[in-house]
Amino acid sequence: MRIFSEGDLAEAVRGAAGPLRIRGGGTRDVGRPVTGAVLDVSGLSGIGLYEPGALTIVAGAGTPLVEVEAALAAEGQRLAFEPADWRGLLGRGGEPTLGGMVAANVSGPRRVQAGACRDALLGVRFVDGTGAVVKSGGRVMKNVTGYDLVKLMAGSWGTLGVLTEVALKVLPAPESVAVLVLEGLDDGAALAAITAALGSPYDVTGAAHGASGTLIRIEGFAQSVTYRGERLAALLSRFGAVRIEADAPVCRDLWRGVREVAAFQAVPGDVWRLSVRPSEAPGLVARAGARAVLYDWGGGLVWLLMPEGEDLRARLGLFSGHATLVRASAETRARIAPFHPEPAPLAAISAGLRARFDPRGILNPGLMG
């Protein structure tokens, strides 16, 4: 069923006789396979309010992300957290939507400087599992007062409610960009260089290491970018030769490759993401024995290409962080929990939230568990 209005969505959820599989743009088949009637919310589309002077945009959850980004670009603005497009990585079609971005809390390389998707959210509207319409910051259901609804919905993957509208903070796009490239560094040296760059006063907006080398990005006014690039190159010279790439299209392509994990696209194998302390990442990577590795977020996010059907968590053993299975067959995702198991106290809180917002357990049931 395709939905075109919030009222129709509320009625559909209230009248559901069984589980519902929430679908927006159809680009992300992540989590345990969900069995249920498909509820297509891509019809909840359109930019309702855009005030460039107030750095605010409000749009329906089904609005294609490309439409939002085009509207922002026309005013010299952007979504600072740099949302990724995983269609190539997951081998999917469809069209990324604003609601899918928020539901998955999709955040790209600029997270190290600008924060995550949830940090840019100003408000949400959604329909919960009872069919009630809930709005953050305004008319809120009495029983949910006290919850930070915006933060709860970001990264909930449609298990607490079905987003209908989101409000986001936007920021000006930079005048200039440069990428410092260091080649031939092993993982330890690369992360040491990245740590030095992030600890410098030169406002790094991206720090990654992979097949394209060790990449450090700076953005801003042209004169400032030139100055900071030169100073940062001098700071990092002890790690080896530093090349400053200032061609804007080349810089965009480098970071698109990081953001979309281009090196793993169309390559056989399961794809995992580790969220860990950067200092612990090289040791975990060595234990994993991955076929290919990409470090992002200054080493705090690690993409691993692994043999199909293998449980990476069993191989790593106990560690401080999270391992998420992003790409695998439906059979593997049914057998191995894609999302990292929560500690018992946190799992109890999560179960309580789902019971409160979706008491019948009909919204993407089992996807995260």
Q: What is the set of domains in the chain, with CATH numbers?
A: 6-172 (3.30.465.10), 176-259 (3.30.70.920), 264-328 (3.30.70)
pLDDT digits (tens, 9 = 90+) for 184-234: 999 999 999 999 999 999 999 999 999 999 999 999 999 999 999 999 999
C-alpha dihedral over 233, 172, 166, 154, to 10 degrees?
A: 10
Residue 286 has pLDDT above 90, yes or no: yes
pLDDT at 29 over 50: yes
Distance of CA 201 to the CA centre of its chain: 26
pLDDT of residue 209: 98
> What are the Cα distances from residue 71, in Å, to 81, 85, 99, 124, 243?
16, 18, 17, 20, 34
Band of residue 147 on the pLDDT scale cut at 50, 70, 90: low
Q: How far are the Cα atoms of 20, 137, 198, 203, 294 from residue 113, in angstroms, in the given order? A: 37, 26, 9, 8, 19
- Mean pLDDT across the stretch 299-314? 97
| Percent of residues, the chain, with pLDDT higher than 90 | 93
Question: Locate tokens 């129709």: which residue?
Answer: 8
Helix (H) or strand (E) holding 206: strand 204-210
Q: Give the torsion through C-alpha atoms of 325, 330, 334, 335, to 10 deg.
A: -70
CB count within 10 Å of CB 324 equals: 17
What is the model's pLDDT at position 129? 97
Q: Is the pLDDT of residue 181 over 50?
A: yes
The mean predicted confidence, pLDDT, of the chain is: 94
Distance CA 278, CA 7 (A): 46
Which of residues 29 and 360 earns the better pLDDT score? 360
Residue 249 has pLDDT above 60, yes or no: yes
Asked if residue 150 has pLDDT above 90, the reply is no
Average pLDDT over residues 80-107: 95
Q: Is the pLDDT of residue 65 over 80?
A: yes
Average pLDDT over residues 121-125: 93
158, 204 contact by CB (below 8 A):
no
